[in-house]
Amino acid sequence: MTPFLRKLGAAPVSAWFGIVIVTLIALTAIFAPVLAPFPEFEVVGPQYSPWAAPHYLGTDALGRDVLSRLIYGARNTVGIALLTTALAFLIGASFGLLAATLGGWFDMVASRAVDVLMAIPSLIFALLILTITGTSVLSLILVIAVLDSTRVYRLSRAVAQGILTMDYVEVARMRGEGLFWIIRREVLPNSSAPLIAEFGLRFCFVFLFISALSFLGLGLQPPIADWGAMVRESARLISFADFSTWQTATFGLAPLLPAGAIALLTVSVNLIVDWVLHLASGLED
Amino acid sequence: MTDTSDLLLDIRDLVIEGRSGGTWQPIVKGIDLTLKRGEILGLIGESGAGKSTLGLAAMGYAKSGCRIAGGSIKLAGEELVGAPAETLRHLRGKRVAYVAQSAAAAFNPAYRLIRQYSEAPVKHGVMSRQEAERDAVQLYREMQLPNPEEIGFRYPHQVSGGQLQRAMTAMAMACRPDLIIFDEPTTALDVTTQIEVLAAIRKVVREHKTAAIYITHDLAVVAQMADRIKVLLKGDEIEEAETRQMLAHPREDYTKSLWAVREFRRAPRAPDDTGKPILTLQDVDASYGTLQVLDGINLSVNRGQTMAVVGESGSGKSTLARVIMGLLPPDKGSVRLDGKTLSPLNRHRDKGVQRRVQMIHQMADTALNPKHRIREVLGRPLEFFLGMKGAAKEARIRELLTMIELDPDTFIDRLPSELSGGQKQRVCIARALAAEPDFIICDEVTSALDQIVAEGILRLLDRLQREMGLTYLFITHDLATVRSIADWVVVMQKGQIVEQGAKDQVFQPPHHPYTELLLSSVPEMDTEWLDRVLNDRRAAG
């Protein structure tokens, strides 16, 4: 742990900014029921009330508290994105590393299957599948995980192929080491840096993808609070807002809150990814 | 320096520092260097001596992570330390040029050679593109490149390594600079190719009266090229003298030790009493796709001896090793260990065979997993082949480290990146020994190392052979190595064995013509050697 802490201490300001924001959002997601002043679904006030106590960020079209829904939204959107990314990595990296190490027909079949999946624009493909299967949280996670695993597959396969040409892998093969040992002990430690960086990026894409689907109405279904869906619900308000006084202007700012939250998290994750990449490329000095 | 107007380069008290772990450490520690017009200075020393850093400083250049911390560099009276980037840019390529060790890495693979040749003269406004291209053909001819009219229109991957190195020297000559820095230009080449490149470089540099700094760790090479030699060690100058003087009467002990490296010899070993060979190859043919690389190889290695396999690159030496290791199945023929035919594929061989036959690679850098500590590198074969665990394993790892002359307490927890080149190669040797093998293939194990370190590795291998009765198959293109450790020599050319026999027999005339060519191409510590060989060859035909 000590070398890790030392690296953390030497991290640049941008990385620290990312770490702080991501930690705050993670804490918000975990302690949502404690932090939120009002319940997620209940109508607690009049429609479209301005930013004033007790509804510090106003209420939405049904009179639900926007602040509370933003806090619960962190839990739903971020949690599901994290789960989906993890699943995408499990599928993509396993197949990618296996395909690179085994080669032959396995590589051929897996790579062609991935090519087919990648040939179809992913948003349209996801819309198609979700229309057929219906929009449950489970099907949402599975569909996005499978679609995103194709990208992870390509990366991990390419990285592993580079590593497999090294003499130390040849030494392990000559020793008669098994497939699993070669992947776990020789390939994985050397491919971890690009894979971790990809995890950060992929998380952002998945997160945006869920938000996009929610915006189109095929993501998380109401009344579940979700940042993407919140942008969609309040998007129209911008054109109706009256920006002459502060009280009426807050009404038009409503869609910018979830949109800003999405942007902030995405940028923060990317700042951390940049730092991890920098560390991995050995450019610390 | 009697005639100062003749003085081209004058470096005074130069200090260059490199950044390591957040602090600046000196790499070059206050060195003086002078060079007259048309003179060639040889810089020699082992890795880390600061040769290349000093060479680059003559262009007013410091590598990234390095800085010129003090002293002065005057090129024809003009101060380069602290000069604006604009001034330096005008200088580089025009008045000072640089020839790197790896021409393959220094050329841009996307452009034709002649296009890259004309870049500097056109940019510096010396010539138009047409003039530059006419000039290139002229210089290609002077560099004795085949088809000088059309070779420039090829891409870097379409010409051989030796030709590429000559094309690069021609490119450095393009603006007719006052000074060229040669940074180990022939180190990556075979002896037979090296001699052509050396002859061409020397001819051109002399004819154009260009001054040069020639950086190398090969003394015999520098003896052919340089008028004066400067010996460096860890950023300090050891001594400097005229070449003849330096070769005949080195003053310092360190220089004498450099000179003595090539004298390591051991007495030939007799094969063991059984008289049966440990490994035999019978009528082995092998190919990559349709390209046949091995053609009817027959050899047998005696237990307890060292068989050296020599030949230039592309002769099939390394393919031979891959066939023995079961990495490339032969098209026909068989490999036998103690009389038993081995499966052509390594993964079908039993664990006993995998344990008994080990291989040590040329590049220790890529043969060690950068994420594994020495404990794991050595521990894994112990665990895998011998089932060792816990304290027994730990004790054996320490024993192995002691055997390869590395202190266990210091090294056991290090990563490969924390070792020097020679130390890495030692760890690779220990990894092979961990399996308790009978037969070890050494594939060019010393060719990536400088001579002093290489000699240490050879002595280590020799001691281990004596103590443990190992058998080596030693693949190399360096005949000096063969002279020092081989018992039996196999000479390969184009996938065939052209000559084999006991060492003394192969090194004594009469030779097979190819062996003769190889032998005569090995540079000798004699300033007249290159002239003599070139004359002999011209006379012969």
**A177 to B347: CB separation less than 8 angstroms, yes or no:** no
Q: How far is A188 from chain B (nearest CA, A)?
A: 10
Name the residue in chain A with its Cα closest to that of B345.
Answer: A174
pLDDT, chain B, mean: 86
In this structure, the answer to whether residues B227 and B330 fall within a common structural domain is: no
Say which CATH topology domain A12-40+51-280 has: MetI-like fold (1.10.3720)
A3 to chain B, any CB pair closer than 8 A? The answer is no
- Specify if B502 maps to a domain: yes
CA atoms of B178 and B2, how far apart (whole Å): 20
DSSP label of B121: H
How many structural domains comprise chain B? Answer: 2
Q: Give the model's confidence band at B62: pLDDT under 50 very low, under 70 low, under 90 confident, else very high.
A: confident
In this structure, the answer to whether residues B157 and B286 fall within a common structural domain is: no
Best mean pLDDT range from A1-5, B48-52, B70-74: B70-74
In this structure, the answer to whether residues B254 and B290 fall within a common structural domain is: no
Q: Which of A168, A173, A185 has the CB atom closest to B346's CB atom?
A: A173
A186 to A163, A183, B348: CA distances (angstroms): 8, 6, 21
Q: Residue B229 belongs to what H/E stretch?
A: strand B228-233
CATH no. for residue B236? 3.40.50.300
B23 to chain A, any CB pair closer than 8 A? The answer is no
**Burial of A35 per CB tally in 10 Å (0-12, 13-18, 19+):** middle
In this predicted complex, what is the ipTM? Answer: 0.76
Q: How far is A215 from chain B (nearest CA, A)?
A: 44
Lowest mean pLDDT among B214-228, B437-451, B463-477, B520-534: B520-534
Tokens in use for B442? 């050494």
Scan residues 419-448 of B and list those with Cβ closer than 8 Å to A: 431, 435
CA atoms of B435 and B301, how far apart (whole Å): 20
Domain boundary among B235, B262, B289: B262
Rounded to an integer, the average pLDDT of B415-430 is: 88
Nearest Cα to B370, choosing from B448, B298, B311, B424? B424
Q: Report phi then psi at A237, rounded to 5.
A: -60, -30
Domain boundary among B205, B234, B262: B262
Question: Taking the domains of chain A in order of start, what are their residue ranges?
Answer: 12-40+51-280
**Burial of B75 per CB tally in 10 Å (0-12, 13-18, 19+):** buried
Residues sharing a CB contact under 8 Å with residue B87, sequence separation 6 or more, in sequence order: B78
Residue where the block lists tokens 């992947």: A183
In this structure, the answer to whether residues B223 and B139 fall within a common structural domain is: yes
Residue where the block lists tokens 């059309």: B150
Q: Which of A174, A177, A285 has the CB atom closest to B19's CB atom?
A: A285
CA atoms of A220 and A218, how far apart (whole Å): 7
Q: Which of A174, A177, A190 has the CB atom closest to B359's CB atom?
A: A174
What is the b/e burial string over A126-159, where b = at least 16 CB atoms within 10 angstroms of the residue's CB? bbebbeeeebeeeebbebbbbbbbbbbbbbbbeb
Percent over 90 (pLDDT), chain B: 20
Is the pLDDT score of B342 beyond 60? yes
CA atoms of B407 and B418, how far apart (whole Å): 14
Strand partners, B340: B337
CB B475 within 8 A of CB B306: no
User: What is the distance of C-alpha B190 from the center of its chain?
Assistant: 9
Q: How far is A174 from chain B (nearest CA, A)?
A: 6
The runs of H, that is alpha helices, within B107-183 are 113-123, 129-142, 148-151, 161-173
Q: Give the model's confidence band at B331: pLDDT under 50 very low, under 70 low, under 90 confident, else very high.
A: very high
Q: What sign does the CA torsion over B329, B330, B333, B337 have? A: negative
Q: Write out residues in chain A with pLDDT < 70, as ranges.
A: 1-3, 247-248, 280-285
In this structure, the answer to whether residues B193 and B324 fall within a common structural domain is: no
**B346 to A174: CB separation less than 8 angstroms, yes or no:** yes
Q: Residue B292 belongs to what H/E stretch?
A: strand B291-302
Tokens in use for B7? 């003085």
A184 to chain B, any CB pair closer than 8 A? The answer is no
- Specify if B532 maps to a domain: no
B359 to chain A, any CB pair closer than 8 A? The answer is yes
Nearest Cα to B12, choosing from B61, B63, B66, B79? B79
Q: How far is A170 from chain B (nearest CA, A)?
A: 8
Set of chain B residues whose Cβ sits within 8 Å of the Cβ of A168: 366-369
Q: What per-residue confidence (pLDDT) applies to B132?
A: 87
Strand partners, B73: B11
- Specify if B448 maps to a domain: yes
Set of chain A residues whose Cβ sits within 8 Å of the Cβ of B325: 174
Measured at the CA of B458, the angle between CA B485 and CA B454, to 5 degrees, comes to 125
Is the pLDDT score of B51 beyond 50? yes
Q: Report phi then psi at A110, rounded to 5.
A: -65, -45
CB A66 within 8 A of CB A254: yes
* Residue A46 CB neighbours (<10 A): 9
Q: How far is B84 from chain A (nearest CA, A)?
A: 26
The runs of H, that is alpha helices, within B161-271 are 161-173, 191-207, 219-225, 243-248, 253-260
Nearest Cα to B372, choosing from A273, A201, A79, A182? A182
Q: What per-residue confidence (pLDDT) applies to B92?
A: 83
Angle between helix B451-468 and helix B253-260 axes, rounded to 10 deg? 60
Set of chain B residues whose Cβ sits within 8 Å of the Cβ of A186: 369
In this structure, the answer to whether residues B443 and B495 fall within a common structural domain is: yes
Q: What sign does the CA torsion over B479, B481, B485, B491 have? A: negative
In this structure, the answer to whether residues B147 and B293 fall within a common structural domain is: no
Set of chain A residues whose Cβ sits within 8 Å of the Cβ of B19: 285
The runs of H, that is alpha helices, within A165-255 are 167-175, 179-181, 188-216, 227-234, 237-240, 246-253
In this structure, the answer to whether residues B127 and B208 fall within a common structural domain is: yes
- Specify if B145 maps to a domain: yes
CB B272 within 8 A of CB B304: yes
Nearest Cα to B466, choosing from B269, B284, B184? B269
Q: What per-residue confidence (pLDDT) applies to B541?
A: 66
**B369 to A190: CB separation less than 8 angstroms, yes or no:** yes
Q: Which domain holds residue B115?
A: 40-64+93-262
Q: What per-residue confidence (pLDDT) applies to B5?
A: 63
- Specify if B531 maps to a domain: no
- Specify if B123 maps to a domain: yes
> What count of CB pairs under 8 Å joins A to B?
54
- Specify if B223 maps to a domain: yes
Name the residue in chain A with its Cα closest to that of B19.
Answer: A285
Best mean pLDDT range from B182-196, B246-260, B383-397: B383-397
In this structure, the answer to whether residues B130 and B165 fall within a common structural domain is: yes
The residue length of chain B stands at 541
- Specify if B87 maps to a domain: no
Rounded to an integer, the average pLDDT of B264-270 is: 75
**B384 to A171: CB separation less than 8 angstroms, yes or no:** no
CA atoms of B502 and B308, how far apart (whole Å): 10
Tokens in use for B138? 């002229």
Strand partners, B213: B41, B181
CA atoms of B113 and A107, how far apart (whole Å): 38
Angle between helix B191-207 and helix B513-521 axes, rounded to 10 deg? 50
In this structure, the answer to whether residues B232 and B108 fall within a common structural domain is: yes
CA atoms of B317 and B444, how far apart (whole Å): 10
What pTM was computed for the model? 0.79
A148 to chain B, any CB pair closer than 8 A? The answer is no
**Burial of B249 per CB tally in 10 Å (0-12, 13-18, 19+):** exposed
**B367 to A177: CB separation less than 8 angstroms, yes or no:** no
Q: What per-residue confidence (pLDDT) applies to A1?
A: 47
CA atoms of B314 and B329, how far apart (whole Å): 18
Q: What per-residue confidence (pLDDT) applies to A41?
A: 78
% helix, strand, coil for chain B, step of 5: 40, 25, 30
Q: Residue B78 belongs to what H/E stretch?
A: strand B78-79
Q: Which of A174, A185, A186 has the CB atom closest to B325's CB atom?
A: A174
Is the pLDDT score of B204 beyond 80? yes
In this structure, the answer to whether residues B241 and B289 fall within a common structural domain is: no
CB B484 within 8 A of CB B266: yes
